[in-house]
Structure 1
């Protein structure tokens, strides 16, 4: 059975100086998003079973759909997600195969109105066709190349357990027959590695690589009173949240593999010692779940009503946290000297939002798409922080402001003027795709701030911002609530794996038109905010 949410006092001794005694209320219940749409085109909430049924129905009709949208006879569609709007429009997200081989960068979204009118957003406009599906290069060569790529990243314990698989690479340039090899190992900071390497099956040249374990850092562990939903089993309680898809929290005990041990407690009064990090992680997962459900109408990370799980006490003095889609889990290190677990709310919200991206647009974690991927996590991490309404840690547009990673009290990133961190970019340029994804996220973060709050100087929750624009234009914000709904709509309905900044502009304009109308102030402000960061 699931116990009633209660408030527990944490007895934590090893907390950094900035940690505060706080009391936070988690919003629960069956409420779903209220998108304040003006057009009737907003998404309706589907139960987990309704979603499964809709995907099965789309798959049953996939062959006909492929023909109707003009795909070749050797191509097939694999339905992955379905969104239904109140006005009857259905948005179906597909992966594509060619002669039975996965087409990477071939994903697309079919939008079909109630009257049968269709439009399609594709990750590539190129025709999917190769002269042969027989590889000139052996799989062993692809494996060797992939291991070399992992070595170049300074990864250790690298191995490719599974044989390289043949694919069609269509994410950039002309589609070609290729191999995809997954190399596991350990990154130089102790984070696990799942490096996907694409090599040309004809020439052996490396075409692309993508590290699928995304990392990030956040605020120090909370202390004080926070609500938890736990489960009673026999005479003991454990950290299983039956109200949120069965999310579980485990103790890795400084290990780096496996699930760990589920936290249990005799009297359901949690906190102190090793439990402190578990309480923070369990709470963070709950608030993130509630934000997505109550604000955006999303039923869990994958929108299927199933909870992920959290692992705390990873490694020895590991100063990071990461989302891993292959295990559908969040993992937290204990920080320097194992004294400051990185288990706070903004860590959970940022990292779990990588899971939402993986379940929707699957933005490639490289180049401009990677920057948009990172920005998505910053945007929803910020949105969740505001949603929590924590008086001791008020919502702001600063990323990682509590961890003091720079040693001088400054945050990791600034959304109002990203370049203040010394590396992020304020505006789009043709060279942005060559920048590390944590810094190429800057323009999208800047766009979100401008859309939410506008340009110029202002103070919000005690923090003063001064957001500039590329063309010295003045932008008047529409409010964060509308901005986050527009980004979410674009991410889930229009973005694909290869979306770049120009495509993000197009997608968010479509989203704003859906929610508020093509002649609305919201639509016009979305366009103005993109122009203000040099995306025209």
Structure 2
């Protein structure tokens, strides 16, 4: 997002969503949160190698196209498989394939043909097991597809919002687009309007306004323009990729899909002229030489391309092998730089007096990383997701700097230190202690989502620094840092390369457009489990770094045993119950013991309880897990062995249609059922409030279990108790289910009866 003087930012209104200093770096001033205590540096940095199977090898454009084509052809089946409604369709955005064959397919959604903003999701397919990461888990349904507010009314409101945000020359880019808004809360029909103009500092503006199509209420306002051998002013003497055309060299990089670098000649539109030279020796390190800025720009583009490709196999910003282009010398005295998805290009101003260009390496990497975010998670540029969007660009700016580690620009955890926008030699941001800039937050708080995204990025930047280097005082490449922690406890670093790898996998594989800080913690822990193993020292460091910024808790050391729910099993019926335990003691093995198991059951060395119970009754079972260091944990639950009858045959439930039934038949029993008969029901459905669920006894008596209760929650996974003492045990018992409203569908997965 754009780079901006702090003074300029403070004059802007909050609704402008100003993008400041080195890729959306600054924002409105915010109240301080509780001071964090300096933490002891802790032990030596953790070293680990990512798991080979979780690597994402570079895909050729042809292979990527083939994977996307395959996903498109299977989209309808995938939509049914993950339980989407009949009006919903999946639109493939990207496909990533791990070295072990795991596929991560990112989708947008439509509803009744309308785009769904905030409806994105990622489907993970691994060894036949499918899981889904959703931007919004709410049921996708709107009462009407007819807007009460006209397109003209939405456009007029959007223009007012844009002008109030100090965007000059505002005009709607096109007719407002009717969409379904699912970015937050209950989905509604909405208008999306993009208003073009110029921001206060001269940065182009593409302001996206989303408004409720029934009430006109503004739902979102987000800026879409993201700001933020030769000798460069900042990079020094560096190699450049150029192409000989006739007798003239052009800044067209043949090794990186023909990335081009243009001189805008102080213009503000078009591409200007391609940088050319007669001897392939570019710039002299002085701003008076127009090629000097071109050197920094071309090198920054190449370094960012190489970083993502060399480390993650990413083939260009969109991972499609297509080059972005760069434009230097934008405007007069323009103190900013920005990324635009609409032109797929980077643009750099020359700064104050046209002598301080904003072309440093971390600026370039920051801004182009906004393009990577747009092509992957698409983090919405407002609220907590907006702060994470900004932090992502800061994170990869630091990672690219460390990857290059130029003599003229040594790697650091400072943002914009070379360009000196503030004119006092200070950086724009400090990742070790973000609040040093006077506005950013060090730690998460409930009010974080209400401040400008430049400053709400602080906790994620702080997390990344702590994860990379650890807490406490230290010196890195000649820069002194002293990073505090919210909880006063030390954090051990894992190194910038591994920290960035975790963030990249989280961004591209698990984050969605609406991911907040809690979601970022979950995403990074999932990514760490993939790369380094769950509960490994690296995994614990990730949890520690988040806790040190007030996001979640640290993982308890030693043996951890997940509680086991009370069990009911059928006599003479096979049992398989896998216990869930882990130890944080590296390399330690686990031993499982169980007391009080029902007759016929036993526990294996890996914690699987199996066998066939032979006698009725109830017992208290105690599980004890011990690791090879002697650490231990225990859990107790009850286990009832009874007559249990089940049906696990799938029965599809038609949308707003006739009732369906799933039977179980009992024979060889005497007498009647119990007054405390239990019925366990497992129904997969995207809106349980549509369903009626009944138990029908052998003599026809109907017992209502669920009558359209539970609202918009997914699925029924519940045990009901009924008085069936008037029913004979023998005969056919039936579970009857009916969907009584349109849109959502599902199926009976399993049910069981304990009469």
**What TM-score do the two structures reach when normalised by structure 1?**
0.91
Q: Partner residue of 2:252?
A: 240
Q: Partner residue of 1:499?
A: 515
Which protein has the larger Cα radius of gyration, Structure 1 or Structure 2? Answer: 2
CA offset at residue 402 of structure 1? Answer: 2.0
Q: Which of 394, 400, 421 in structure 1 is aligned with 2:437?
A: 421
SS of residue paired to 1:105 = strand
Q: Which of 363, 386, 391 in structure 1 is aligned with 2:379?
A: 363
Q: Judge conservation of contact 1:238–1:264 (CA < 8 Å) in 2.
A: yes
Query: Using a 3 Å threshold, how does the CA distance of structure 1 residues 334 and 407 change in structure 2: closer, same or farther?
Result: closer
Q: Partner residue of 1:57?
A: 70
Query: Using a 3 Å threshold, how does the CA distance of structure 1 residues 407 and 268 change in structure 2: closer, same or farther?
Result: closer
Q: Partner residue of 2:570?
A: none
| Structure 1 position 186 matched with structure 2 position 198 | yes
Output one character per residue of 1:62-114: Cα deviation in whole Å (capped at 9) or x when no partner: 00000000000000000011111122211000000001100000000000112
Query: What is the distance in 2 between the residues matched to 1:374 and 1:396?
Result: 18
Query: What is the distance in 2 between the residues matched to 1:180 and 1:390?
Result: 44
CA offset at residue 459 of structure 1? Answer: 0.9
Query: What are the residue-to-residue correspondences of 1:255-404 with 2, within 5 Å?
Result: 255-271=267-283, 273-404=289-420
Q: Partner residue of 1:518?
A: 534
Output one character per residue of 1:502-529: Cα deviation in whole Å (capped at 9) or x when no partner: 0000000000000010021111111111
SS of residue paired to 1:79 = strand
Q: Judge conservation of contact 2:338–2:346 (CA < 8 Å) in 1.
A: yes
Q: Greater strand percent: which structure?
A: 2
Q: Partner residue of 1:411?
A: 427
Query: What is the distance in 2 between the residues matched to 1:433 and 1:129?
Result: 26
Q: Partner residue of 1:8?
A: none
Q: Partner residue of 1:38?
A: 51
Q: Judge conservation of contact 2:235–2:361 (CA < 8 Å) in 1.
A: no
The number of aligned residues is: 498
Q: Partner residue of 1:444?
A: 460
Query: What are the residue-to-residue correspondences of 1:12-31 with 2, within 5 Å?
Result: none
Q: Judge conservation of contact 2:58–2:312 (CA < 8 Å) in 1.
A: no
SS of residue paired to 1:468 = strand
Q: Partner residue of 1:104?
A: 117
Q: After alignment, is 452-461 or 271-280 more displaced?
A: 271-280
Q: Which of 458, 479, 487 in structure 1 is aligned with 2:474?
A: 458
CA offset at residue 39 of structure 1? Answer: 6.3
Output one character per residue of 1:348-368: Cα deviation in whole Å (capped at 9) or x when no partner: 101000000011000001110
Moved over 4 A (4+): none
Q: Partner residue of 1:3?
A: none
Output one character per residue of 1:228-269: Cα deviation in whole Å (capped at 9) or x when no partner: 111111221211101001100111111111121112222222
Q: Partner residue of 1:434?
A: 450
CA offset at residue 392 of structure 1? Answer: 2.7
Query: What is the distance in 2 between the residues matched to 1:78 and 1:159?
Result: 30
Gaps spanning 5+ residues in structure 2: where? 1-47, 553-755
Output one character per residue of 1:304-334: Cα deviation in whole Å (capped at 9) or x when no partner: 1111000111111100100011100000001
CA offset at residue 441 of structure 1? Answer: 0.5
Q: Partner residue of 1:204?
A: 216
| Structure 1 position 148 matched with structure 2 position 164 | no
Q: Partner residue of 2:137?
A: 125
Q: After alignment, is 254-263 or 53-62 more displaced?
A: 254-263
Query: What is the distance in 1 between the residues matched to 2:121 and 2:115?
Result: 13
Q: Judge conservation of contact 1:177–1:202 (CA < 8 Å) in 2.
A: yes
SS of residue paired to 2:503 = helix
CA offset at residue 339 of structure 1? Answer: 1.4
Q: Judge conservation of contact 1:429–1:534 (CA < 8 Å) in 2.
A: yes
Q: Greater helix percent: which structure?
A: 1
| Structure 1 position 172 matched with structure 2 position 184 | yes
| Structure 1 position 484 matched with structure 2 position 480 | no
Q: Which of 170, 175, 186 in structure 2 is aligned with 1:163?
A: 175
SS of residue paired to 2:364 = helix
CA offset at residue 294 of structure 1? Answer: 1.1
Q: Judge conservation of contact 1:39–1:516 (CA < 8 Å) in 2.
A: no
Q: After alignment, is 60-69 or 41-50 more displaced?
A: 41-50
CA offset at residue 224 of structure 1? Answer: 4.0
Q: Judge conservation of contact 2:356–2:419 (CA < 8 Å) in 1.
A: no
Q: Judge conservation of contact 2:58–2:309 (CA < 8 Å) in 1.
A: no
| Structure 1 position 79 matched with structure 2 position 95 | no
Query: What are the residue-to-residue correspondences of 1:221-240 with 2, within 5 Å?
Result: 221-222=233-234, 224-240=236-252
Kindly report the root-mean-square deviation, in angstroms, between the aligned alpha carbons of the 2 structures: 1.3
Q: After alignment, is 143-152 or 262-271 more displaced?
A: 262-271
Q: Judge conservation of contact 2:55–2:312 (CA < 8 Å) in 1.
A: no
Q: Partner residue of 1:475?
A: 491
Query: Using a 3 Å threshold, how does the CA distance of structure 1 residues 227 and 118 change in structure 2: closer, same or farther?
Result: same
